[in-house]
Amino acid sequence: MKIFIRSLMILLVLSLLMGFAPKTVQAVVIPPPQKCPDFVLTATHGIDGTRIGLSKELPVIIEVYLYGKPLTQIPLKFQENYMATLLRGDYSFKVFSTELQAYIPTAEVATFTVKGCTKVGLHIRLVDGVPVTKVIVKDLYSTLN
């Protein structure tokens, strides 16, 4: 029995030594993505129109301008979201209420430069009873562009 236990201990020590022996590890290098020519645009409509005396869905159209020229229109209703990929550049945004048939100047976003590899969020909200557009810009890859 002693021989068996000694043999088992020797095997255990050898297996531990073999387990901790240095091993070659091949490193995998992941190249960074190429510079991005585009960005991700998200838009959310968070205004319940009944809070300002209008219909609950309060339909709006976000007009997107690139370099001062109309690019696209985004129709949204309360609690709807939108996502698209657009080319980087100088953008501005206007919000048109289809219910009032008028632009909402407090929700307008003045021209600003959007870099590639970013995510731009447009969030239409009420602040102190006034419709505004909150803009959040996040870098997707902080080392690019």
Residue 126 domain boundaries:
38-139
Burial of 22 (0-12, 13-18, 19+ CB in 10 A): exposed
What pLDDT is attached to residue 36? Answer: 80
What pLDDT is attached to residue 95? Answer: 97
What pLDDT is attached to residue 39? Answer: 94
Over the range 75-105, which residues count as b (16 or more CB within 10 Å of their CB) and which as e? Answer: ebebeeeeeeebebbebbbbbbbeeeeeebe
Residues 117 and 144: their CA atoms lie apart, in Å, by: 7
Residue 22 falls inside a structural domain: no
- Write out pLDDT tens, residues 70-85: 999 999 999 999 999 9
Residue 15 falls inside a structural domain: no
Its sign, for the CA torsion 81, 105, 67, 114, is negative
What pLDDT is attached to residue 35? Answer: 73
**pTM of the full structure:** 0.72
Specify which residues 61 forms β-bridges with.
75, 96
What pLDDT is attached to residue 104? Answer: 96
Angle at 136 between CA 132 and CA 138, to 5 degrees: 170
Residue 25 falls inside a structural domain: no
What pLDDT is attached to residue 145? Answer: 46
What pLDDT is attached to residue 12? Answer: 60
Residue 59 falls inside a structural domain: yes
Number of residues that this document lists for the chain: 145
Burial of 40 (0-12, 13-18, 19+ CB in 10 A): middle
| Domains: count for the chain | 1
What pLDDT is attached to residue 130? Answer: 94
The mean pLDDT values, 10 residues at a time, for the chain of 145 residues are 69 61 54 74 96 95 97 96 96 96 96 93 95 94 58
Output the domain CATH number for residue 79. Answer: 2.60.40.4150
